[in-house]
Amino acid sequence: MTNKLKYFVGNWKMFGDFTSFKTVNKINQFSRKYKKLHKNKIILCVPNTLIFFFNKKLQSKNISLGAQNCHYYQNYGPFTGSVNSQMLKKTGAEYIILGHSENRSEGDTDKIIEKKINSSIKNKLNVIFCIGESYKQKKNGKTFSTLRKQMKNSLKKISNLNKIILAYEPIWSIGTNNIPKASQLKKTIKFIKNESKKILKIKKPIKVLYGGSVDPNNARSFSFIKEIDGFLIGRASQSAKKFIDIIENYYK
């Protein structure tokens, strides 16, 4: 079994209220003990309405909290209903998911995402930058060119790359219980690592997570793909039991 640091990131999406602290607390307690067994980092990206509350309530913090999106504008401004990265940082968020396909489908372009990444890094948030192809792009053999374009357009001008983790989330896998074939996934993660080195002109490969229908039943199968640095988990992260089962099954 690997002794490389692995990330387990929950993306709660639009889910949860103050009573959900019990889920966070269980995962936090699990993490305190489990960290001694395996090198891993647990991050929960929860709705903005809960970050400050969870952060205050957690007594000893063994996990990190994160946000799921922000406005591209860095300062205060006339953007009804929006929050910027600075405001999120002040709630106690350490991470932020950007470029999620659910936000892309609502109008986030590569350029807008680039601005969000820039502003988040300036405000000392760690960015989990999502890329991924649609089913149609996959069928037409456009997976690699889509991923290359997404990386190029949003990352080329970013200077502090230490603050970036990539997440490969094929759109056709999100919420569907379909996961890529192991051989294909391995190839794609390798492609992302190599390509990002070229685009960003860096020597050390960037970390790449996988996201899309990760659950307790398939978690173990991913452990054979050593190129994957961790997981971005949607539905299953809303349950402490499922989230913990994923981590335990991964290391079985």
Q: Name the residue with tokens 């390798």.
A: 190
Please tell me whether residue 233 binds ligand 13P under the rule CB under 6 A: yes
Query: How far is the C-alpha of 165 from the C-alpha of 84, rounded, in Å?
Result: 20
Task: Decide: is 128 part of the binding site for ligand 13P (CB under 6 A).
Answer: no
Characterize the bridge pairing of strands 126-131 and 95-98.
parallel
**In the structure encoding, which two tokens stand for residue 122, read together?**
């300036």
Alpha helices in the chain (DSSP H): 21-34, 48-57, 85-91, 101-104, 110-122, 135-139, 143-155, 182-200, 219-222, 240-250
d(CA 230, CA 208): 7
Binding map of ligand 13P across residues 72-111, x = CB under 6 A, - = no contact? ----------------------------x-----------
Query: Which position among 66, 180, 212, 216 is part of the footprint of ligand 13P (CB under 6 A)?
Result: 212
CA distance 10 to 115: 24
Is 102 annotated as catalytic? Answer: no
Strand partners of residue 208: 166
- Of the candidate spans 73-81, 109-117, 181-189, 228-236, the one that interacts with ligand 13P by CB under 6 A turns out to be 228-236
Close Cβ partners of 234 (under 8 Å, ≥ 6 residues apart): 11, 13, 174, 175, 211, 213, 214
Taking CB under 6 A as the rule, does residue 170 contact ligand 13P? no
Q: Is residue 171 a contact point for ligand 13P (CB under 6 A)? A: no
71, 94, 100, 133: which one is catalytic?
100
Shortest Å, Cβ 155 to ligand 13P: 19
Active site residue 169: yes
175 binds ligand 13P (CB under 6 A): yes
Under DSSP, the state recorded for 69 is -
**Of residues 46, 2, 13, 15, the one with CA closest to residue 28:** 46
Structure token digits, residue 167: 């997440």
How many chain residues interact with ligand 13P (CB under 6 A)?
14
Q: Please check whether residue 189 is in contact with residue 177, taking contact to mean a CB–CB distance below 8 angstroms.
A: no
Query: Of 81-89, 145-153, 169-177, 184-192, which segment contacts ligand 13P by CB under 6 A?
Result: 169-177
Catalytic site residue from 94, 114, 133, 169 = 169
Closest approach, Cβ 197 to ligand 13P, in A, equals 24
Task: Compare residues 137 and 213 and give the one whose CB is closer to ligand 13P.
Answer: 213
Query: x/- contact string, 47-66, with ligand 13P (CB under 6 A)?
Result: --------------------
CA distance 58 to 31: 13
Binding residues for ligand 13P (CB under 6 A)? 11, 100, 169, 174-175, 211-214, 232-236
- Residues annotated as catalytic (active site), given as ranges: 100, 169
